[in-house]
Amino acid sequence: MMMRTLLVFFLLLFFKIFATAQSSNFEIKVAINPNDCIKCSNYLYGLNSLSKKYKISFILNEETKEDSVYAIELILGSKIKNFNLLISDSLHKKYSYQTHNYVTALKNKEVILITELEKIKTQIDYLNELSFEAGDTILLNYNVGKNNGTKIIFNNLYIHNKTNNILFSTNLINGKTINYDFNYKLIDTIFKINFNGSTEKLTEIKNYYQSANATYNLEIGGFDVNENKLYILVFGYYIDEILYKNIDTILGRIIVLLEYNIGNEKPIIYPLSLKLKNSDYDFSHYNLAVIDKKAFINVMLKNQKKYNEKSYWMCKCELNENIFLDTTDCIPRPKLHVELKLAHNFSEYRLDGDYLINTITNELINYKTKTSTELKIHFNKIIPDKNSPFKDAMNYSLIDFKTSKNITQIIYFMDSAYHYLSYDLKNDKVIENFPIVTNYLEVLKAAPKLFSKNLFYIFPKNKNIMVLKEIKPIN
């Protein structure tokens, strides 16, 4: 008993000298019950995934102090660097529940989460998201690119650098980065799937590109990520036909959807261009959203003379071995597209929750009920050039939007500035509307995006970093 008491004394002295924690608005209180520590080591190790901003305090009961050596050894073995150890009956009583090990998270002294220690791993992403603050800067060890698509989920930033044709995934907590590009083994497999096991078409197109001093590769058209799945929409070309004594070459498209279990290198390949045959509609290899194992496909009429208000804009296909274009589950084109006879031009969209919206309209569509609402927001309509579809004047574009609890947040571009708008869907009215970035060409590498309820993020020009900004009117 004397040896155990001395061991506890020296361990406590060790903690007092070496265990430190930085000043922070974020705190984690872990009430340890030695009798409930059979699997403590795994759960404690999970705390290592928390943002460094969290100050972690372990609380032991004075009455069981001499029986806490095992728990203290587990804390040391969990390799948590910054923590405090407290021996206090009152604090232990305050932060413990029943006889289990409990975790209490606080932000600015207010409780934001209470959970059993064994469930902490399921809450790490949520807690880390709360730890981000205005002014936070994340260093990115790659070229962000002027033209990119981004998405953040579970503290991972996904950036599609369209110039370099690479998709990057960066963990915003530890900085770990994964690159998704296309090696020739994957390209071989894709061609074999599309051409009955043959790579003859691949050899042809490689030689065709080589004759023009170029290297053939597949390109990323769009991507989506949710939970533990990453989806990448990929397209490429093959020689379909050669006419007029080998002078004119007609190229065909290969479009596939790659489904990755996050962390795995080998994807499931869905050959869309092979399977999604339809007599009336073709489909785009840009833009992608996947919900409940169904991919949203941006479709367009092959015969534009048939174009009308009932023409489809988005259809779905189930991602399984019997993949096909489901034209019984489609969404009509936005009203503005029909009014201005835009056909399939400007079909880009943003999707969040149950809603999607075309980036040049104010028409919010519930894709589940297929009902639409025209938001009472000011936007500059596109002015079509009847002589040239490539000279349309456009001074409005919806950049990003999120919807939660009947409140929609939007970042849009208009009048040479980026603006923030929040909208009450229940009462159908604007809550806030103000500019957040001006002189954007001088300061930004890419458009700003929503991060959380109170924050947006930017990529400053001439730097490969991401910076969080508070959502507020510019001075």
Model pTM above 0.75: yes
Structure tokens at 6: 């001395």
Burial (CB < 10 A; 0-12, 13-18, 19+), residue 223, is buried
Beta carbons of 120 and 105 less than 8 angstroms apart: no
Beta carbons of 132 and 467 less than 8 angstroms apart: no
Whole-angstrom distance between the N-terminal and C-terminal Cα of the chain?
A: 66
Asked whether the predicted pLDDT for residue 323 surpasses 70, the reply is yes
- Please list, residue by residue across 37-74, b when 16 or more beta carbons sit within 10 angstroms of its beta carbon and e when fewer do: beebeebbbbbebbbebbbbbbbbbeebbeebbebbeb
Range name among 13-22, 244-253, 343-352 with the lowest pLDDT average: 13-22
Beta carbons of 156 and 169 less than 8 angstroms apart: yes
pLDDT band at 314 (very low <50, low <70, confident <90, very high): very high
Torsional class of 227: left (φ above 0), alpha (ψ -120 to 50), beta (otherwise)? left
User: Average pLDDT of 8-23?
Assistant: 46
Structure tokens at 270: 């869905």
Per DSSP, helices labelled H in 331-433 are 335-340
Asked whether the predicted pLDDT for residue 10 surpasses 50, the reply is no
Q: Report the distance separating Cα 28 and Cα 103, nearest Å.
A: 7
Closest CA to 232 of 215, 255, 199, 202: 255
Beta carbons of 411 and 436 less than 8 angstroms apart: yes
pLDDT band at 17 (very low <50, low <70, confident <90, very high): very low
Asked whether the predicted pLDDT for residue 329 surpasses 90, the reply is no
Beta carbons of 173 and 136 less than 8 angstroms apart: no
CA atoms within 13 A of residue 295's CA, in its CB half-sphere: 33
Range name among 15-24, 193-202, 263-272 with the lowest pLDDT average: 15-24
Which residue matches tokens 């919010």?
A: 364
Q: Which secondary structure element, helix H or strand E, spans residue 211, and what is its range?
A: helix 200-211
Q: Report the distance separating Cα 454 and Cα 432, nearest Å.
A: 13
Supply the pLDDT for residue 46. 81
pLDDT band at 60 (very low <50, low <70, confident <90, very high): confident
Asked whether the predicted pLDDT for residue 192 surpasses 60, the reply is yes
Beta carbons of 96 and 102 less than 8 angstroms apart: yes
Supply the pLDDT for residue 9. 46
pLDDT band at 304 (very low <50, low <70, confident <90, very high): confident
List Cβ neighbours of 355 (8 Å cut-off, separation of 6 or more).
364, 365, 366, 367, 403, 408
Q: Are strands 281-283 and 294-301 parallel, antiparallel or unpaired?
A: antiparallel
Asked whether the predicted pLDDT for residue 224 surpasses 90, the reply is yes
Residue 347: φ, ψ to 5°: -90, 0
Q: Report the distance separating Cα 114 and Cα 155, nearest Å.
A: 21
User: Average pLDDT of 4-8?
Assistant: 45
Q: What is the pLDDT of residues 392-421, one digit of tens each?
A: 667 899 999 999 989 999 999 998 899 999
* Residue 342: count of CB within 10 angstroms of its CB: 20
Asked whether the predicted pLDDT for residue 18 surpasses 50, the reply is no
Name all contacts of 311-315 with Cβ < 8 Å and 24+ positions apart: 311/338, 312/281, 313/337, 313/347, 313/358, 314/349, 314/356, 314/367, 315/281, 315/283
User: Average pLDDT of 130-153?
Assistant: 90
Which domains, and CATH codes, for the chain?
2-131 (3.40.30.10), 182-332 (no CATH)
Closest CA to 311 of 339, 287, 289: 339
Complete DSSP assignment for 347-369: --EEEETTEEEETT--EEEETTT
